[in-house]
Amino acid sequence: MSTPSPEAVNALLPEVTALVIEALNMEISPDEIEPDAPLFGEGLGLDSIDVLEISLLVSKRYGFQMTADNPDNAKIFASIRALTAHIVNHRSQ
């Protein structure tokens, strides 16, 4: 899979950030989330259930399946920017 252009990723970042906030019912604004901050641990502090919620919304909105057994999940969910790059590469709509 090719690396998406920074422009394509940056264009989709606000939408994906809003999707993460929506998926997790977070009470923060999108500009409070640093695109390169870790999603796990000291970043947003997500857990596996949170990732499942995000994956379901991504699948519905962008038309491709995300699976729990994907060996690249640690990279895909490393940050909002990494997740956005994955979506840019795989979305069907």
Q: What is the mean pLDDT of residues 3-32?
A: 93
Q: Are 38 and 76 in contact (CB under 8 A)?
A: no
Place of tokens 């490393």: 78
What's the topology of domain 6-90? 1.10.1200
Task: Calculate the CA 63 to chain-centre distance.
Answer: 14
- Where do the structural domains in the chain lie, given as residue ranges? 6-90
Please return the burial class of 28, using the count of CB atoms within 10 Å of its CB with bins 0-12, 13-18 and 19+: exposed
Cα distance between residue 27 and residue 10, in whole Å = 23
pTM, full prediction: 0.91
What pLDDT sits at residue 15? 96
pLDDT digits (tens, 9 = 90+) for 18-65: 999 999 999 999 899 999 999 988 788 888 899 999 999 999 999 999
Q: Are 62 and 90 in contact (CB under 8 A)?
A: yes
